[in-house]
Amino acid sequence: MSETRPATAPEKTDISRGRLLWRFLQGSKGFFLLCMVCAALSALADMITPQIIRVTVDNVVGRAGTENLSPLVRSLLEAAGGTEALAQRLWIMALAVMAVAVVKVLALYGFRVFNARGSETLVKTMRDTLYAHIERLPFSWHMKNHTGDIIQRCTSDIETTRNFISEQMTNLIRILILLVMSVTFMVSMNWRLTLIAMIPLPIIVWYSIFFHHKFRAGFQACDENEGKLSAMAQENLTGVRVVRAFGRERYERDRFEAQNRMYTSLWVRLGRLMSLFWSTSDILSGLQIMLVVVFGVLMCLRGEMTSGAYIAFLSYNGMLVWPVRQLGRMISDMSKAGVGMDRVGYIMAAEEEQDAPGAVDAPMTGDIRFDHVTFTYEGSAETLKDVSLTIPAGTTLGILGGTGSGKSTLMYLLDRLYDLPEDGGTISVGGTDIRRIRLSHLRSQIGIVLQEPYLFSRTLRENLSITREGLSEEALREASRTACLEETIDGFTRGYDTFVGERGVTLSGGQKQRAAIARMLTQETPIMIFDDSLSAVDTETDARIRKALEKRFGSATIILISHRITTLSKADQVLVLEHGQVAQLGTPEELSRQPGTYREILQIQSMSGEVSA
């Protein structure tokens, strides 16, 4: 089977970013709404302070008339005793500034609290949703995607999305309020100076949009290469024993450093682009402030503007420049978040395993029938070609064949790790097509020991009892005895509580295989599959395990895939596959008398002493 790598081009999905984000925001929308309300209050407080200063300078201290003030401001001044009284009690104006500052502080506090609650809830929801979705994706999907890249999408890309929403989107209301009200107040004070202040703004908006497309391409390349780097690190750390055994440390280090250099160079290139963006923004913002300062001073000298209005105008201009620059940053971060959302969307768009309408919990104790089964992995040659056979219930089938002959594929199809296409024949158990059986029921009734046993980084007890909740100690020990593992476990200092390390690294190959067999036996399923799972144990242990299985599970249907004739010698029938087709099918005695692959291997292994009498 060829392994397909994730595409390097931008990934397109059927899920829009908005719909996906709305789904992830379940449970955190309320926090972000409150966050935006607090941001709006903070912006309003920013708007009020310059007006208090303006009234204080022009009307209270400068004794100018109040005709140019709004009715609301005039009524507030009259309620405080008028401008003359306030001139004697300037502490009232200072108190007003302090009151507004307190409101702003409380609003900012609420903003940060609700923002933190909302963003953490969002991240939790995204991680939980993604993990649950990935758990339900077909085995074929996992074979097409690097584990390291999937992890990167579930961590770094989620964090990027969180940062954009918590740092940019929640400030959107504040930015809009500052923009609209700043321009409104500036126009009311001096429309000509406002026009001068607005001159550079269209240029800033245009080049922000221009850089947005460049940022998107840059962030896309960086994200993809981070995924490759994560996949490379994960792969090498997992296979560290192989790397050490073949002395490939230098080679793997050079590969990692080459990928890391590429990844770093992409960020350096993106950093240069962002530096150009922000430096240009600084220049334009500085020019805008300079224009306002110069022309504002000239207008004050000509009497076209009061000192208080000029001070307030400068404050509002600062509030206008910040949102425009923040808008540029928002566009930049939106590019990065868009890439992250697309990469997360790629996972969410993958179709989960689904039961067929009307799926049933059919009995799994009947005959297993493969009827004209044909199957091809995506992007590879035909793996199985018109395979037909029947496995009577309670019997043992042995499968023999060379590498790539389709032995494991046949079992993957039975367990529906891969789905058989509609035109690929049928597989049935007790007369029921397995496509009509509920997946959870089907897999709970089929015990399978894979060709490469996988143990989790937990204790032996946890690994062996993972198939059933509340597994009794006696059932655990009985499964271990059947797999000839109990003596090995008793030899460990901590027994069943021995920690086996990542992928069972502390155990030998044979011990891992026997542990995987014991784990499967705890299910007590009516169908048991051993996919070349006795290859790492010696012949004597192989025979002991087969005898124990026959004694304890005589009524179960057992399928043994093996290259060892002794493992298959007690089977009721043996299937020989060649190039995905049935080459031979019969009892071991029958096949030993027929010319073909079975007899050839029997003779070779007899000469080498692998076949015992």
The verdict on 573 and 457 lying in the same domain is no
Q: Which domain holds residue 497?
A: 452-524
Assign 502 a pLDDT band (cuts: 50, 70, 90): low
The verdict on 159 and 297 lying in the same domain is yes
- Determine the 3-state secondary structure of 416 from DSSP: coil
The number of distinct structural domains making up the chain is: 3
Instruction: State yes or no: pLDDT of 4 exceeds 60.
Output: no
DSSP 360: B
**323: in domain:** yes
The verdict on 332 and 471 lying in the same domain is no
**67: in domain:** yes
Hey, what amino acid is at 232?
A: M
Q: Show the tokens assigned to 612.
A: 């015992």
At 8-37, the pLDDT tens digits run 444 555 577 888 888 888 889 899 999 988
Distance CA 93, CA 95 (A): 5
Q: Which CATH number goes with the domain that contains 549? A: 3.40.50.300
pLDDT number for residue 125 = 92
**605: in domain:** yes
Instruction: State yes or no: pLDDT of 151 exceeds 90.
Output: no
pLDDT number for residue 2 = 36
**Are the beta carbons of 252 and 258 closer than 8 angstroms?**
no
**11: in domain:** no
The verdict on 334 and 400 lying in the same domain is no
Instruction: State yes or no: pLDDT of 7 exceeds 50.
Output: no
Instruction: State yes or no: pLDDT of 264 exceeds 70.
Output: yes
Span 565-577, mean pLDDT? 88
The verdict on 438 and 470 lying in the same domain is no
Instruction: State yes or no: pLDDT of 505 exceeds 70.
Output: no
**10: in domain:** no
Q: In what order do the strands lie in the sheet with 368-376?
A: 382-391, 368-376, 426-429, 432-433
Which of the given ranges, 81-85, 99-103, 377-381, 602-606, has the highest pLDDT on average?
A: 99-103
At 217-257, the pLDDT tens digits run 787 788 778 878 887 887 777 777 677 777 778 888 888 88
**364: in domain:** no
Instruction: State yes or no: pLDDT of 610 exceeds 70.
Output: no
**Are the beta carbons of 574 and 398 closer than 8 angstroms?**
yes
Which of the given ranges, 119-133, 260-274, 332-346, 475-489, has the highest pLDDT on average?
A: 119-133
Number of separate helices (H) and strands (E) present in the chain: 23, 10
The verdict on 474 and 539 lying in the same domain is no
User: Phi and psi of 418, rounded to 5°?
Assistant: -125, 140
The verdict on 209 and 262 lying in the same domain is yes
Contacts of 344 (CB under 8 A, 6+ apart): 20, 126, 130, 153, 154, 157, 158, 161
The verdict on 97 and 173 lying in the same domain is yes
The verdict on 76 and 170 lying in the same domain is yes
- Determine the 3-state secondary structure of 365 from DSSP: coil
DSSP 355: P
The verdict on 384 and 485 lying in the same domain is no
If residue 313 lies in a helix (H) or strand (E), which one and from where to where?
Answer: helix 307-349
